[in-house]
């Protein structure tokens, strides 16, 4: 046969084969592949066509409901814009095969001492108009998802915009906090994104068909600003908003992790996802870092620590209640009546109490605006080294640094400088008037607490907390409390400038519900020392770092019952967030044996003697507590051997918790 005719005959056939191949390739690029977390509960899917991803979708599979799938997250925008014009018109070039990640690490503080995380990692590689690759690294954990962006080969370029967008439909139940520099605001229940400035601070809690999602971020490095969410253009589209970031980079750059914790309420409460994705500990020696309780002057006196006689009262209180620390607050550089800070430090050390000192970060409120001092001692590196060296020499155990300038990159870098310098001089750190935790507690475990919460200090400032406190307190464990230590300064029995109407047992429950490795006891010494011996013993012995944390029951704003374990002892606390009495459900059999001993603190209902304290065993106790309006309870359960759930028991408990 003529060769030319053979070729002519084959050309249409080859064309058909080629078209079919191209059609198959195009179909493959429709991105309908689905990836799962190691336990199969979290599902991740990308949809699009012609090498363009239109949306990433996340679903949750409920084992208690025949693996019913619930769509919980729609990511309708992704990528970055850079100052050199990069990031535009992203074209998908590659999707990696899933890589299994398994990690164990220890935490010195927090809700859990031994942490284990598992994830499947997928990497999407895109190319922009500059033919520069942008990688989107996605990790599917058993309790949520995390993703970040990576760029290589930047040449004096800054990151102008993060294009990540979460689509949240109107009507979805949510507890969002309007953004402020200090993250001191409420988390009201709402079903709309409209109203206010439409600018929201992390964490953001959503509920959809009984499945909860908590949006936040983690892994802030020197090269990053922190971010928040804005939905001003469309109330259903929440854009990741980068705070001020003018720094130019050369070389490789990574964004923080965009984190979404997903599951039932108990999954979110127990989650360590924020620290799971954060950088491992960078300190060679952590043996000197000791969580503990602190006596603190400011709340009761609405003033700093320039009066040596009042400082002595709080040192004596710490000694009497066996608290390891006393915080000497603002204005210690302006002591009255010729006294000196050295005298105060010596008084504390002579009584076996370790002092902590307050500083103004001198980045936000300056002295001319009325913010107290000391000022400008920590900003310049050489001044910071000198100051921290002096503190170490004087036997100071840590610093509380206040009034930071928001989420901008310069502030994040300054915070890391402070943590690293403090660690060199064996100083713990408490950030106040600062952004919420984003995983630094793992990377720099000398960061023992952070404020970033509308806490009890506000009884000094406005009357609004009086009526809102109970509901607010019952919301925080499901929102702010999930991401890290929260220096709320809880448990006060007397009043400050404005009264509180939560009960004594409600207040006693807060130090358990609100995790903080430095737990500040802020009431007047005479108030604590007037309480029954059992209450004083509780304050003296309460841990401030935990081995395990569980949610037993509750709903944001209504009630919460949590159990935390230290060694073989369980601390169970519950509060009523309502203005009417209600039953708070609990299941003690899931924690310990029936013959375990229980000390129970409840409200008596009378003003003359507000406490009802009893001794019992787990056997025979009811599966609920009757809580008074804005009331609460605390249990301390001691057993010789803690309960270690097997796989079958765990599944059973999970189903019980689903019902609750």
Chain centre distance of CA 596: 32
Chain centre distance of CA 71: 24
Is pLDDT of 116 > 90?
yes
What letter does residue 143 receive in the DSSP assignment? T
Alpha-carbon distance 203 to 220, whole Å? 15
* Cβ count within 10 A of residue 624: 15
Segment 150-195, tens digit of pLDDT = 999 999 999 999 999 999 999 999 999 999 999 999 999 999 999 9
Average confidence score pLDDT of the chain: 91
Grouping H, G, I as helix, E, B as strand and the rest as coil, residue 186 is: coil
Give the pTM.
0.92
Length of the chain counted residue by residue: 660
Is pLDDT of 268 > 70?
yes
Grouping H, G, I as helix, E, B as strand and the rest as coil, residue 376 is: coil
Mean pLDDT of 207-211: 95
Mean pLDDT of 55-83: 90
Angstrom CA distances, 105 to 144, 438, 544, 569, stand at 18, 17, 19, 22
Grouping H, G, I as helix, E, B as strand and the rest as coil, residue 10 is: helix
- Residues 6+ away with beta carbon under 8 Å from 128: 86, 87, 88, 89, 90, 91, 134
pLDDT of 646 reads 39
Segment 214-226, tens digit of pLDDT = 999 999 999 999 9
The dihedral through the CA atoms of 390, 392, 396, 399 has a sign that is: positive
- 30 pLDDT band, cuts 50/70/90, is low
Is pLDDT of 653 > 80?
no
Chain centre distance of CA 496: 28
In the chain, what percentage of residues exceed pLDDT 90?
86
- 67 pLDDT band, cuts 50/70/90, is low
Chain centre distance of CA 512: 16
pLDDT of 369 reads 66
Could you tell me the two tokens for 619? Answer: 């056997």
Closest CA to 332 of 348, 318, 320: 348
Could you tell me the two tokens for 35? Answer: 């990836």
Mean pLDDT of 641-645: 46
Query: 563 forms bridges with which residues in the sheet?
Result: 550, 572
pLDDT of 10 reads 34
Is pLDDT of 658 > 90?
no
CA Rg value for the chain: 27
How many CA atoms within 13 Å lie on the side-chain side of 350? 8
- 608 pLDDT band, cuts 50/70/90, is confident
pLDDT of 644 reads 43
Closest CA to 264 of 62, 472, 504: 62
- 497 pLDDT band, cuts 50/70/90, is very high
């Amino acid at each position: 046969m003529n060769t030319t005719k053979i070729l002519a005959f084959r050309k249409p056939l080859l064309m058909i084969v080629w078209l079919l191949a191209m059609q198959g390739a195009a179909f493959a690029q429709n991105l309908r592949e689905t990836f799962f977390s190691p336990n199969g509960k979290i599902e991740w899917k990308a949809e699009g066509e012609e090498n363009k991803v239109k949306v990433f979708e996340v679903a949750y599979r409920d084992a208690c409901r025949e693996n019913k799938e619930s769509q919980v997250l729609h990511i309708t925008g992704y990528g970055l814009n850079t100052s050199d014009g990069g990031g535009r018109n992203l074209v998908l070039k590659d999707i990696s095969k899933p890589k299994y990640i398994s990690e164990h690490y220890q935490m010195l503080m927090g809700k859990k001492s031994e942490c284990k995380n598992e994830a499947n990692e997928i990497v999407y590689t895109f190319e922009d108009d500059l033919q520069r690759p942008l990688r989107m690294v996605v990790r599917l954990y058993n309790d949520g998802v995390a993703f970040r962006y990576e760029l290589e080969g930047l040449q004096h370029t800054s990151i102008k915009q993060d294009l990540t967008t979460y689509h949240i439909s109107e009507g979805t139940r949510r507890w969002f906090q309007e953004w402020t520099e200090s993250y001191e605001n409420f988390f009201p229940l709402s079903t709309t994104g409209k109203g206010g400035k439409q600018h929201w601070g992390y964490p953001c809690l959503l509920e959809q068909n009984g499945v909860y999602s908590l949006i936040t971020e983690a892994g802030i490095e020197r090269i990053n600003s922190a971010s928040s969410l804005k939905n001003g253009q469309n109330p259903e589209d929440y854009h990741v908003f980068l705070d001020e970031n003018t720094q130019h980079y050369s070389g490789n750059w990574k964004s923080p992790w965009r984190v979404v914790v997903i599951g039932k309420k108990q999954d979110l409460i127990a989650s360590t996802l924020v620290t799971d994705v954060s950088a491992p500990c960078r300190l060679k020696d952590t043996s000197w870092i000791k969580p503990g309780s602190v006596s603190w002057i400011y709340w009761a006196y609405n003033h700093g620590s320039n009066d040596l006689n009042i400082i002595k009262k709080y040192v004596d209180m710490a000694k009497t209640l066996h608290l390891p620390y006393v915080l000497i607050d603002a204005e210690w550089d302006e002591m009255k009546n010729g006294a000196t800070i050295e005298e105060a430090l010596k008084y504390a050390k002579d009584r076996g109490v370790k002092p902590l000192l307050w500083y103004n970060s001198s980045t936000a409120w300056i002295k001319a605006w009325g913010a107290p001092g000391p000022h400008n001692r920590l900003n310049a590196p050489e001044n910071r080294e000198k100051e921290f060296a002096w503190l170490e020499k004087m036997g100071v155990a840590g610093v509380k640094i206040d009034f930071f300038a928001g989420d901008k990159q310069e502030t994040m870098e300054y915070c890391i400088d402070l943590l690293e310098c403090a660690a060199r001089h064996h100083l713990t750190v408490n950030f106040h008037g600062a952004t919420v935790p984003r995983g630094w507690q793992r990377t720099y475990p000398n960061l023992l607490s952070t404020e970033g919460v509308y806490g009890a200090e506000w009884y000094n400032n406005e009357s609004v907390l009086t009526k809102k406190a109970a509901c607010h307190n019952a919301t925080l464990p499901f929102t702010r409390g999930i991401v890290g230590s929260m220096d709320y300064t809880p448990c006060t029995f007397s009043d400050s400038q404005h009264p509180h109407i939560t009960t004594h047992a409600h207040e006693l429950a807060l130090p358990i519900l609100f995790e903080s490795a430095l737990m500040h006891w802020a009431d007047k010494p005479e108030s604590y020392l007037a309480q029954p011996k059992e209450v004083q013993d509780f304050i003296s012995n309460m841990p401030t770092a935990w081995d395990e944390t569980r949610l037993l029951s509750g709903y944001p704003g209504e009630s919460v019952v949590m159990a935390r374990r230290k060694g073989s002892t369980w601390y169970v606390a519950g509060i009523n967030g309502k203005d009417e009495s209600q039953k708070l459900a609990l299941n003690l059999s899931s924690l310990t044996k029936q013959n375990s001993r229980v000390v129970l603190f409840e409200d008596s209902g009378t003003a003359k003697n507000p406490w009802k304290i009893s001794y019992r065993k787990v056997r025979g106790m009811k599966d609920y507590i009757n809580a008074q309006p804005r009331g609460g309870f605390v249990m301390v359960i001691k057993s010789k051997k803690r309960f270690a759930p097997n796989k079958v028991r765990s599944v059973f408990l999970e189903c019980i918790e689903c019902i609750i």
